[in-house]
Amino acid sequence: MTVNEQILEEIAACEKLLIGIGEEWKAEGIPDMGSLYEKMNGLIKDKDYFIVTTVTDGEILGSPLEQGRLVAPCGNETWRQCSKSCTKDIWEPGEIPQDVCPHCGEPLTGNTIEAEDYIEEGYLPQWKAYTTWLAGTLNKKLLVLELGAGFKTPTVIRWPFEKTVSINNKAHMYRIHRKFAQLPETVKGKADAVLENSTEFFRKL
């Protein structure tokens, strides 16, 4: 059985499905990124899943994936915030056509960790939903798919996912990355490393 077949079989059999989407999934330079998210939706739409993404391009927000089942703690470029953080307000695309802060007149910037003063309030409600969901995975048959998450922000996906897998005896993880697929001792026997670009791998699932 190929790794692809194993993953599809485990998606079908799992009780809970946790997916981490890392920097390999940035839309820039990847043709037809939307089709990847559509494919993902087709594979997991009937599962009890949650997605954590560190990608900030906002592509996933326009996908058919259930928005209540995903969190983007690094923010997204399509949402806007005051570049000087004079307010905690966050605006959706087109809400402020002039792209200047209505409070202080400074330019708006993307609501991401790249901002000088990142306003985190935008993702916190979904983060709470995620942690609640995650608490319910203990002693459940949990499949973890880590797609292209390297070491840019390892505290969001990589390290927490390792901990989740290590403490759940029914968990199994696939770490897929073109360069950083190595696994720590804490998840040996409960995880598989796939040394391949995760977007290219996923297209072949």
pLDDT digits (tens, 9 = 90+) for 75-90: 999 999 999 999 999 9
Q: What share of the chain is helix, strand, coil (3-state, %, to 5)?
A: 35, 25, 45
Q: How far is CA 18 from the centre of its chain?
A: 9
pTM here is 0.94
Question: Three-state SS across 131-198?
Answer: HHHHHCCCCCCEEEEEECCCCCCCCCCHHHHHHHHHHCCCEEEEEEECCCCCCCHHHCCCEEEEECCH
pLDDT confidence bin for 28, thresholds 50/70/90: confident
Question: For 86, phi and psi rounded to 5 degrees?
Answer: -70, -15
Task: Find out if CATH 3.40.50.1220 is the number for domain 3-73+123-203.
Answer: yes
pLDDT of residue 113: 93
Where do the domains of the chain lie? 3-73+123-203, 78-119
pLDDT of residue 136: 98
What would the pLDDT profile of 116-161 be if each residue is shown by its tens digit?
Answer: 899 999 899 999 999 999 999 999 999 999 999 999 999 999 999 9
Q: Is the pLDDT of residue 64 over 90?
A: yes
**Closest listed residue to residue 71, CA positions, set 150, 136, 134, 8:** 134
Spatial contact of 57 and 77, defined as CB atoms under 8 Å apart: yes
Q: Can you tell me whether residue 205 is helix, strand or coil?
A: coil
Can you tell me the distance from the alpha carbon of 62 to that of 77, in angstroms, rounded to the nearest whole number?
Answer: 13
Which pair of tokens denotes residue 125? 């409600």
pLDDT confidence bin for 21, thresholds 50/70/90: very high
